[in-house]
Amino acid sequence: MFATFDKYRQVFLTGLQSNIVYRFNFAVRGFFSLFHLAAVVILWSAASLGGSGGLGGFSLGQTITYFVTLLILQFFISAFNEDYQISEEIRNGLINQFLLKPINYFAYRFSIFVAARLVSGLVVIVPLLIALPVLREYLDFPHDYRVLLFGLPAMAMSAVIQFSIAYCFGLLSFWFLEIQGFVILSMALETLLGGQMFPLDLLPEWAYAIARCLPFYYQMYFPAAIFTGRLTDPTLIFQGYGIQAAWVIALLLVNQLLWSRGLRRHTAVGG
Amino acid sequence: MLHYAKIWAASARYSITRTLMFRGDFFVWSLVELFWMAVNILTITVIYEHTQSIAGWTKYQMVLLVGTSMLIQRFLMGFFWSSIFEMGRNIRSGNFDFYLAQPGNVMFMATTRKLDPDSLLNSLVAAAVVIYAVHQLGLEPSAGQIALYALMVLCGVVIHYSILVLSISLAFWLTSAQGIEGLYFTLTEFSRLPRAAFTGIATQMLFVWLLPVVMVTNVPASLLVQGFDLTLSAWLFGSALVWFAAAVFVFNRGLRRYTSASS
């Protein structure tokens, strides 16, 4: 048990080192995100002025806070290019070495993912700190430590969902030469139903009810809504945990299935 | 001129043949673009459930604005994107040599080589969005207005093209122009916003005047909504010329530095 843990701890540490190499890339990406935040502030400020002052019962500050939280979460838990990396390893035959070793490929990849997000998450704080003087007047976090207590488990499960979906797409390389189309297609869905274009509670009630059942809701929106005080009812939060956990299990099962089926098709070329 | 039209037609034929070879790809990518356009329209619909206007623009005026932005983007993607994007990689790898040996202006050859029929198909969808918005607004644009709108959209495509060529040309100096596309998509986010929403002086200077990404969509859209404004239209036309000249200049300067890569 301990030996297993130690194995992936080493993978994590190596992942940490190789991702620290890319710290500048992450920082540049973080700075680009500031442009996105600027567009968000401009759009929602104008929208809030054009309405009766609020946006679906939330102030402009709360809305902007939501988008800032989303940005931070993105660098801490979302999959960046894990799908392509996995796809590359399959196509180049690099995956063959894992078939001969006592290593679980999912666990191996997940350890690297955690290391990578730790680095990118910490790096994104720099551009945000630089923007803080401007952003400060918009930030409006709830003053309640319980949001952290409720939010962190949701965030952890979101990370697993994020990674599992990317892993799924990566494994599609067993069947398809190119996965880019699928990835970008699902990105459009994630962007919309994960709450990156607007907080999902602004949706009409029926649409929101549907969104709550889909995995995308639990990819990003769910923890963000808890952290920013948009979702406060404990019953709803615990219900959310339940659905989220169900999606985690379902995705892990799909991954397992794709992996075992895919390996049957796999012909080890090169390596 | 006829010479270039022939070359372009040959590239177009090649691209269409290629698309016919990879039909599945064509289908997926058409769907991708369609999805992204739907995401933008849906976002507007949702926001207008909670507000009456964004910087003075009503819902369908916003749809018109976003439709215009999509139209310009589809044209850029359809006619130039793949070629310009590959140009950066070719400069690094040395494959750019290939274009120097071709019978025509290097910038023309390198930026018009590949068409994306999926984007061109989706430009029809974008046009349909614009027409739908015009219809919902009860506008009846005159033939002159439509012609001017088309001209302004053309100016927009020229400006986007020039900005993109300019940024990718940096690869002549930096050898790597990775990440530029990300910046481009970030900038297009601003092109979906009404000009009046830019209230800060800094943002107004940067995105409205310095980088005309906002004007590129606002001028044609306002032309249909509020009527013809000579100053703004002339300004957009002028900046299209200036940006294009800058792109040509920087590209040719870069070309002089190109030393090819040995292999």
Query: For the segment A247-256, what is each residue's pLDDT rounded down to a tens digit?
Result: 999 999 999 9
Distance from CA of A163 to the nearest CA of B (A): 21
Inspect the interface and report whether the beta carbons of B46 and A198 lie closer than 8 Å: yes
What's the rounded mean pLDDT across residues A66-75?
Answer: 94
Q: Per-residue confidence at A270, pLDDT binned at 50, 70, 90? A: low
pLDDT digits (tens, 9 = 90+) for B180-226: 767 777 888 888 999 888 888 887 888 788 888 899 999 999 999 88
Inspect the interface and report whether the beta carbons of A50 and B186 lie closer than 8 Å: no
Does residue B263 form part of some domain? no
Q: Per-residue confidence at A55, pLDDT binned at 50, 70, 90? A: confident
Residue of chain A whose Cα is closest to the Cα of B183 = A32
Distance (Å, rounded) from C-alpha B101 to C-alpha B112? 15
Contact predicate A76/A155, CB 8 Å: yes
Q: Look over chain B and give the mean of its residue pLDDT values, rounded to a whole number.
A: 88
Per-residue confidence (pLDDT) for residue B262, from 0 to 100: 56
Q: For chain A, how many helices (H) and strands (E)?
A: 11, 0
Q: Measured between beta carbons, which residues in chain B are less than 8 angstroms from residue A39?
A: 186, 189-190, 193
What is the length of chain B?
Answer: 263
Q: A165: closest CA among A198, A126, A204, A194?
A: A194
pLDDT at B16 over 60: yes
Distance (Å, rounded) from C-alpha A108 to C-alpha A8? 6
Inspect the interface and report whether the beta carbons of B50 and A28 lie closer than 8 Å: no
Per-residue confidence (pLDDT) for residue B179, from 0 to 100: 66
Distance (Å, rounded) from C-alpha A118 to C-alpha A80? 13
Per-residue confidence (pLDDT) for residue A154, from 0 to 100: 95
Per-residue confidence (pLDDT) for residue A271, from 0 to 100: 44
Does residue B253 form part of some domain? yes
Distance (Å, rounded) from C-alpha A106 to C-alpha A45? 43
Per-residue confidence (pLDDT) for residue B177, from 0 to 100: 63
**Which of A46, A48, A181 is facing B29, going by the closest CB pair?**
A181
Contact predicate B64/B137, CB 8 Å: yes
Interface check A101 vs B, CB under 8 A: no
pLDDT digits (tens, 9 = 90+) for B134-182: 999 999 888 999 999 999 999 999 999 999 998 888 888 876 666 676 7
Distance (Å, rounded) from C-alpha B209 to C-alpha A39? 16
Distance (Å, rounded) from C-alpha B135 to C-alpha B133? 5
Task: List helix spans (H) across A55-204.
Answer: 60-77, 82-92, 96-100, 105-135, 146-171, 180-193
Q: Per-residue confidence at A50, pLDDT binned at 50, 70, 90? A: confident
Interface check B198 vs A, CB under 8 A: yes
- Give the ipTM: 0.85
Distance (Å, rounded) from C-alpha A231 to C-alpha A220? 13
Inspect the interface and report whether the beta carbons of A43 and B54 lie closer than 8 Å: yes
pLDDT digits (tens, 9 = 90+) for A91-125: 888 888 888 888 899 999 999 999 999 999 999 99
Please tell me the pTM assigned to this model.
Answer: 0.88
Per-residue confidence (pLDDT) for residue A268, from 0 to 100: 67
Per-residue confidence (pLDDT) for residue B208, from 0 to 100: 80
Which structural domain, as residue segments, surrounds residue B219? 2-257
Distance from CA of A68 to the nearest CA of B (A): 16
Does residue B262 form part of some domain? no
Inspect the interface and report whether the beta carbons of B54 and A202 lie closer than 8 Å: no
Q: Which range has the worst mean pLDDT, A161-165, A208-212, A238-242, B169-173?
A: B169-173
Inspect the interface and report whether the beta carbons of A46 and B197 lie closer than 8 Å: yes
Distance from CA of A259 to the nearest CA of B (A): 24
Q: Measured between beta carbons, which residues in chain A are less than 8 angstroms from residue B199?
A: 42, 45
Number of domains making up chain B: 1
Per-residue confidence (pLDDT) for residue A231, from 0 to 100: 92
Per-residue confidence (pLDDT) for residue B85, from 0 to 100: 86
Inspect the interface and report whether the beta carbons of B55 and A50 lie closer than 8 Å: yes
Q: B82-91 burial, b if ≥16 CB within 10 A, otherwise e?
A: bbbbbbbebb
Interface check B31 vs A, CB under 8 A: yes
Interface check B187 vs A, CB under 8 A: yes
Hey, what's the torsion of the CAs at A118, A122, A123, A125, to 10 degrees?
A: 150
Record the tokens describing residue B70, joined without a space. 């999509």
**Best residue of B33, B44, B54 to probe chain A, by most A CBs closer than 10 Å:** B54
Residue for token pair 């070329």: A269
Per-residue confidence (pLDDT) for residue B124, from 0 to 100: 92
pLDDT digits (tens, 9 = 90+) for B37-77: 899 999 999 999 889 889 889 999 999 999 999 999 999 99
What is the length of chain A?
Answer: 271
Inspect the interface and report whether the beta carbons of A50 and B52 lie closer than 8 Å: yes
Residues 41-70 (A) with a CB less than 8 A from some CB of B:
42-43, 45-51, 54-56
Per-residue confidence (pLDDT) for residue A206, from 0 to 100: 94
Does residue B94 form part of some domain? yes
Q: Look over chain A and give the mean of its residue pLDDT values, rounded to a whole number.
A: 89
Q: Which residues have a Cβ under 8 Å from the Cβ of B73 and sit 6 or more positions away?
A: B126, B160, B188
pLDDT at B130 over 90: yes
pLDDT at A30 over 50: yes
